[in-house]
Structure 1
Amino acid sequence: MGRSARSRALAMVTLAYVIAISVAAAWLTWGPGTRRLWLDTLIADLLATCVVFVFSRIHRNSSFYDAYWSVIPPLLLAYWWWQGPIGISGAGALRCWLMALVVGYWAVRLTANWGIGFPGLHHEDWRYPLLRQRAGRFEFLADLFAIHVFPTCQVFVAMLPVYVAATRPGDGLTWLAWLAFAVGVGAVSLELAADTQMRRFVAAGRPGAVMDQGLWGWSRHPNYLGEIGFWFSLALFGISAAPGQVWWLFVGVAVMVAMFLGASIPMMEERSLARRPDYADVIDRVPKLLPRPPRRAPR
């Protein structure tokens, strides 16, 4: 695909997101409020998702949704902080600034990683046609709910600790906010390093080769491990603001872990085994998620 065609495709995706965010903003500004900030933003989030879904259907490419995962969370944080009682310097502001740095770092890294790897609208994530095909005559519903609405709700649930941290005044447990910051920065840096290593491996152009070097020799999915660590850090931010609500603030992390272990990782590994028979040896030597020192390949 030529550079100009790729640029036009990026412009089309950008237009979809500008319209989606504008619809969400219009709802939040002029829509009938529910008097519950979290519910107002959930409705706006779902409306924006529906706009992206329309673009996906028009262009027959559900990868319009790919960047939504990383674009919306910083906007949610910014809106909740703006609408909440803390302000930029009130009690609890330090927690919000630390949280904003972590979420911003994560969003920039993930969106940039998507943009670097974006080949154009001729390409669609291989999982989406598979999901639609498995749904048969219900492919429209699978596209709407499984590929668009469910991930939006999943991310929203995982962002609820951020809502608590951004809207509850008071410094809370400052030491825990700093710990959450360290965990979040470390987790996103792990993702960045893993993606960089994988990009270099792919660029080397060795057909059929398997990646078992660097971080990928310690864990088969270090990028997913980093992603789980990021959402775990957000739960810690929520607990630092409301220690008494610890009983539910890890729900979002649990949902993420369930998705990675129950869907994302099995689908990725099934595909890798089908395309690279040597990947079975990697499965024998390298742990799925939690890292350990690499074992030597048998001679």
Structure 2
Amino acid sequence: MKQKQKDLLEVTLIYLIIGFAGFYTYLEIDVRDTVFRLLVSDLVMTVICYIFSVFKKNSSTYDAYWSVIPFYMLIFYFYDFSGASWGIPQWICAFVISAWSWRLTLSWARGWPGWNHEDFRYVNFRNQFGKFFQPINFLAIHLYPTLIVFASMWGVLYVYNGATLTIPYLFYLGALTSLIGTGFEYFADNELDKFRKRENPKKEDILKTGIWAKSRNPNYLGEMMFWFGVAMMGVSFSAPWYTTLGSIGMWAMFMFASIPLKDKQMMKNRPEAFIEYKKEVSRVLPF
């Protein structure tokens, strides 16, 4: 067995432990409020994931959590809200979220080198904060993404808890928006995978083929579209307006944190080529 296969098996076992702990917590909480039970379970799983990341000395232990948890929440909904009797909208929503979740998780697994790799942003945090890294590790790398994903999935609860579909066109528009966003990510990640495996690579090379020739961040564009689509599906089932704040927070995180950090890294590694790339290609929108 190759080292990467061993590492993937180990991280899979870690997530099985995390998932079991979350489901056990969900069942044992003696409160009827589903949102509270889900939140507590999510926080328990995040803490366990953090413990493993400290043990492995690698904060990228958390990387798969982002894409796995939304699908895991669907399992909770199926268990709690009579999944066998779901209607077409419920199954469409489940399909859209599952397609995004599994695609992104498989893409992560394909591109993850193993425990010898840690996301450059986390490495920079380690170097920048030194002995104060662990509070940043828990709060910024683990807890904040958990809370923003939870907030973004909040509206989906109304699709499954017996609420009425009051704006059908908004639901189907939201499902389509999420699927198109997932498609953007699919094509972007495939192009990126080919680029990383190119022959005779040079440090100054920049990916600008396919969808990357139209947008410098097509994968982030796809993520934002997915989460806005999820919010639309929730609102179509009369989810309160505040359940959309998670998706707005997602947009803000990508636009004001993830993309600037990526641009800074590109300027550091290949300044001349990146300056030209910025002149030729839009930051996010493909026009």
**Is the shorter-chain TM-score for this pair beyond 0.5, marking a shared fold?**
yes
1:104 aligns with 2:102: no
Secondary structure of 1:263 counterpart: helix
Using the aligned pairs only, state the percent identity.
33
- Cα drift, residue 134 of structure 1: 2.5
- Residues 81, 167 of structure 1: 8 Å contact kept: no
How far apart, CA to CA, are the structure 2 residues paired with 1:222 and 1:43?
33
Select 1:129's aligned residue among 117, 123, 128: 123
Match of residue 49 from structure 2? 52
Select 2:278's aligned residue among 279, 283, 289: 283
- Residues 168, 241 of structure 1: 8 Å contact kept: no
1:158 aligns with 2:155: no
- Cα drift, residue 110 of structure 1: 0.3
- Residues 81, 96 of structure 1: 8 Å contact kept: no
Match of residue 227 from structure 2? 231
- Residues 95, 237 of structure 1: 8 Å contact kept: no
Relative to the length of structure 1, the TM-score reads 0.90
Deviates more, 1:234-243 or 1:168-177: 168-177
**Unaligned stretches of 5+ in structure 1?**
293-299
- Cα drift, residue 179 of structure 1: 1.6
Select 2:10's aligned residue among 9, 12, 32: 12
Match of residue 169 from structure 1? 163
Match of residue 145 from structure 1? 139
Q: Deviations over 1:217-243 (max 9, x none)?
A: 111101100010000110111111006
1:268 aligns with 2:262: yes
- Cα drift, residue 81 of structure 1: 4.0
Match of residue 111 from structure 2? 117
Q: Deviations over 1:95-122 (max 9, x none)?
A: 2111101001001110010010111111
Deviates more, 1:227-236 or 1:249-258: 249-258
Match of residue 236 from structure 2? 240
How far apart, CA to CA, are the structure 2 residues paired with 1:94 and 1:173?
15
Match of residue 74 from structure 1? 71
Secondary structure of 1:250 counterpart: helix
Q: Deviations over 1:25-52 (max 9, x none)?
A: 111122x323211111111111111111
User: Size of the alignment, in residue pairs?
Assistant: 284
- Cα drift, residue 163 of structure 1: 1.4
Runs of 4+ in 1 over 4 A off after TM superposition: none
- Cα drift, residue 283 of structure 1: 1.0
Relative to the length of structure 2, the TM-score reads 0.94
Q: What do you get for the CA RMSD once the two structures are aligned?
A: 1.6
How far apart, CA to CA, are the structure 2 residues paired with 1:181 and 1:195?
21
